[in-house]
Amino acid sequence: SQTIHQWPATLVQPVGSPLSLECTVEGTSNPNLYWYRQAAGRGLQLLFYSVGIGQISSEVPQNLSASRPQDRQFILSSKKLLLSDSGFYLCAWSSGVSKPQHFGDGTRLSIL
């Protein structure tokens, strides 16, 4: 069966520090991968999605970036975090566009 791992679960970072969040999927090949941010009490905002290695689409302008160095690995990065980057970050995968998405347990990011 397929599983998705996302870490760390919680992260507290100072303003201006770098960020690297990692997500890996097991049990499937060539998944579509997604990064979302969820503000408190709000819906999900799609940040990036990828349909293949090295293929990244950005949905919103921001100081975050994403990379897909391997088929089942998706990384969310920032060179310098802002206070507004605080939130709950979720990684997800699907077997194709319009298909159900399967989510990791998220990373709670707090910027001080």
Partner 1 sequence: SQQGEEDPQALSIQEGENATMNCSYKTSINNLQWYRQNSGRGLVHLILIRSNEREKHSGRLRVTLDTSKKSSSLLITASRAADTASYFCATVTGANSKLTFGKGITLSVRP
Closest separation in Å from C-beta 34 to partner 1: 8
Where does this chain bind partner 1 (CB under 8 A)?
6, 41-44, 46, 49, 90, 92, 97-98, 100-106, 108
Q: Indicate the residue among 14 and 43 with the shorter CB distance to partner 1.
A: 43
CA 85 to chain centre: 13
Contact indicator for 5, 104 with CB cutoff of 8 Å: yes
Q: Indicate the residue among 16 and 105 with the shorter CB distance to partner 1.
A: 105
Question: How far apart are the C-alpha atoms of 105 and 89, rounded to whole Å?
Answer: 9
Closest separation in Å from C-beta 65 to partner 1: 19
Q: Indicate the residue among 41 and 54 with the shorter CB distance to partner 1.
A: 41
Taking the CA of residue 102 as centre, how many other CA atoms within 13 Å lie in the half-sphere pointing to its CB? 17
